[in-house]
């Protein structure tokens, strides 16, 4: 390994997950099984991907851990919050993502992971009815209670560092309000005034994590750390933040396939995406106010890859206003499928002389199986970024996220092209490893 400027990954890394549902328990079980040699962490970039460092005769293809000091799976300690009191073993069995034979070898370890009471507001997820919640707290009291939880967990488990990951349900859509969300002082005042309209519970988790020196990752499309007030807090605490919304199934396909259309200079008339899923996430998203949050996230991907203003002949027609292609996203709650999500994409393209063609994609995926490795990578790389002294929005993690954070107050546009995101990821790792970040993003 070259001499990197990153502090070594000494001691235990605590991963505190908000939510102990299908995604969280699949993530925890997989890590615990992998470190016993009983399963493979397939899908994890940090565990499998190799990338080039150096050029020409000096070029080498190395695993990430051979370039930068990543925390080892053996050093991870899990904790969580959830509205339901079941331990991680019970929750994993209930989720029915993994077979019992793939859970039982780590049953004892999972049973030790008992959710702390959640900071919860039923108005933000009306379909959830758990009673393992912090009762009667204002938003500011929620922050203080969560900070204490983080301190207690760190002390009890002997952790040197902690990362906080949101893997809980999608909250109702919170529009960004300049009077509350633009300045840290205004955000804090709203929390202290118990402003429940503008301060989502997820914001309390993020505020608590950052002030306790823990990077925060938003794995849902919630309005949380993608506001200027939180950017100020991340700078003040010198902590990394990342979000939002794990890029698992349909959006992964979209961010990888849309560049094919764009690179080949084919036209797009419309892209219709629909999904069926039956897990707790599907139940929550069956509520229109919660679906709105997800819809905004999923719609944003395509428009930054295939741009009508750049190529009006190719992408400037198809909807009622005839200003760009028609883009629609739907999610339908369908209990029989549980965690086995199915995504259909109907893509209407056109080619030479305007002649129409169609592409159909049917992705029968397993939502939590795709999300678990993203959780691992986001946690390990956020911890790495913190030890490298990187703080604020970690754009290099956009590879893992549906709706990457960006500074919209300065007109910045998110990078959603999967291949550009991969270049950003590799360049950041090269730089932290003491190598030249030598790939261009065109």
Model confidence band, residue 298 (pLDDT cutoffs 50, 70, 90): low
Considering the domain architecture, whether residues 303 and 258 belong to the same structural domain is answered as yes
Check pLDDT > 70 for residue 136: yes
On whether the CB atoms of residues 49 and 68 are closer than 8 A, the answer is no
Considering the domain architecture, whether residues 382 and 279 belong to the same structural domain is answered as no
Considering the domain architecture, whether residues 84 and 231 belong to the same structural domain is answered as yes
175-197 mean pLDDT: 97
CATH number of 402's domain: 3.40.50.720
- Positive or negative CA dihedral for 186, 187, 192, 196? positive
131-155 mean pLDDT: 97
Within a domain: 5: no
Within a domain: 305: yes
The predicted pLDDT at position 147 comes to: 98
Q: Find the domain containing 285 and state its range.
A: 250-364
Considering the domain architecture, whether residues 242 and 260 belong to the same structural domain is answered as no
pLDDT digits (tens, 9 = 90+) for 329-362: 998 888 998 888 899 999 999 999 999 999 999 9
pLDDT digits (tens, 9 = 90+) for 230-251: 999 999 999 999 999 999 988 9
The predicted pLDDT at position 129 comes to: 87
Considering the domain architecture, whether residues 89 and 199 belong to the same structural domain is answered as yes
Considering the domain architecture, whether residues 180 and 292 belong to the same structural domain is answered as no
More confident call, 442 vs 422:
422
Considering the domain architecture, whether residues 184 and 262 belong to the same structural domain is answered as no
CA distance 381 to 44: 11
The predicted pLDDT at position 15 comes to: 98
Within a domain: 441: no
Considering the domain architecture, whether residues 165 and 265 belong to the same structural domain is answered as no
Which residues have a Cβ under 8 Å from the Cβ of 420 and sit 6 or more positions away?
441, 442
The predicted pLDDT at position 109 comes to: 98
Considering the domain architecture, whether residues 297 and 334 belong to the same structural domain is answered as yes
The predicted pLDDT at position 294 comes to: 66
More confident call, 149 vs 2:
149
Cis peptide before 244 (omega within 30 of 0): yes
pTM: 0.94
In eight-state DSSP terms, residue 411 is: T
- The two beta strands, 326-333 and 342-350, are unpaired
Considering the domain architecture, whether residues 71 and 197 belong to the same structural domain is answered as yes
CATH number of 333's domain: 3.30.360.10
Considering the domain architecture, whether residues 359 and 378 belong to the same structural domain is answered as no
Which residues have a Cβ under 8 Å from the Cβ of 29 and sit 6 or more positions away?
88, 92, 98, 102, 103, 106, 110
pLDDT digits (tens, 9 = 90+) for 157-168: 999 999 999 999
Q: Into how many domains does the chain fold?
A: 2
The last residue of one of the domains, among 322, 349, 364, is 364
Check pLDDT > 70 for residue 1: no
CA distance 231 to 298: 23
Check pLDDT > 90 for residue 310: yes
Considering the domain architecture, whether residues 146 and 295 belong to the same structural domain is answered as no
The predicted pLDDT at position 424 comes to: 98
């Amino acid at each position: 390994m070259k001499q990197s400027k990153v502090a070594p990954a000494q001691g235990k890394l605590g991963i505190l997950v908000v939510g102990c549902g299908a995604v969280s328990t699949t993530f925890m079980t997989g890590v615990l099984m992998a470190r016993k040699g009983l399963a493979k962490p397939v899908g994890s970039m940090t565990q499998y991907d190799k990338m080039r460092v150096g050029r020409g005769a000096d070029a080498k293809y190395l695993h990430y851990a051979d370039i930068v000091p990543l925390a080892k799976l053996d050093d991870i300690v899990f904790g969580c919050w959830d509205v339901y009191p079941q331990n991680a073993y019970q929750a994993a069995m209930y989720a029915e993502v993994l077979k019992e034979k793939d859970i039982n070898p780590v049953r004892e370890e999972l049973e030790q992971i008992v959710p702390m009471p959640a900071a919860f507001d039923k108005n933000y997820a009306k379909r959830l009815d758990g009673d393992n919640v912090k009762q009667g707290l204002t938003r500011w009291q929620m922050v203080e209670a969560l900070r204490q939880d983080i301190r207690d967990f760190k002390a009890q488990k002997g952790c040197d560092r902690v990362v906080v990951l949101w893997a809980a349900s999608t909250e109702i859509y919170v529009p960004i309000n300049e009077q509350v969300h633009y300045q840290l002082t205004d955000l804090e005042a709203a929390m202290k005034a118990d402003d429940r309209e503008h301060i989502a519970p997820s914001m309390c988790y993020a505020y608590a994590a950052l002030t306790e020196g823990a990077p925060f990752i938003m794995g849902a499309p919630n309005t949380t750390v993608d506001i200027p007030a939180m950017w100020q807090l991340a700078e003040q605490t010198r902590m990394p933040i990342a979000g939002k919304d794990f890029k698992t199934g349909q959006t992964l396909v979209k961010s990888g396939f849309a560049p094919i259309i764009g690179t080949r200079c084919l036209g797009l008339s419309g892209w219709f995406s629909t999904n069926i899923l039956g897990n707790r996430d599907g139940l929550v998203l069956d509520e229109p106010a919660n679906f709105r949050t997800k819809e905004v996230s999923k719609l944003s991907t395509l428009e930054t890859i295939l741009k009508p203003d750049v190529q009006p002949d190719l992408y400037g027609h198809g909807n009622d206003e005839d200003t760009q292609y028609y883009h629609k996203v739907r999610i339908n709650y369908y209990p029989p499928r549980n965690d086995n999500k199915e995504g259909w994409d109907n893509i209407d393209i056109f080619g030479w002389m305007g002649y129409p063609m169609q592409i159909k994609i049917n992705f029968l995926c397993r939502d939590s199986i795709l999300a678990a490795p993203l959780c691992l990578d986001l946690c390990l790389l956020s911890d790495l970024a913190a030890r490298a002294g990187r703080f604020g929005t970690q754009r290099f993690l956009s590879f893992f996220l549906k709706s990457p954070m960006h500074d919209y107050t300065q007109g910045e546009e998110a990078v959603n092209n999967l291949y550009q995101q991969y270049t950003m990821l590799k360049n950041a790792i090269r730089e932290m490893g003491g190598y030249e970040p030598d790939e261009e993003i065109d």
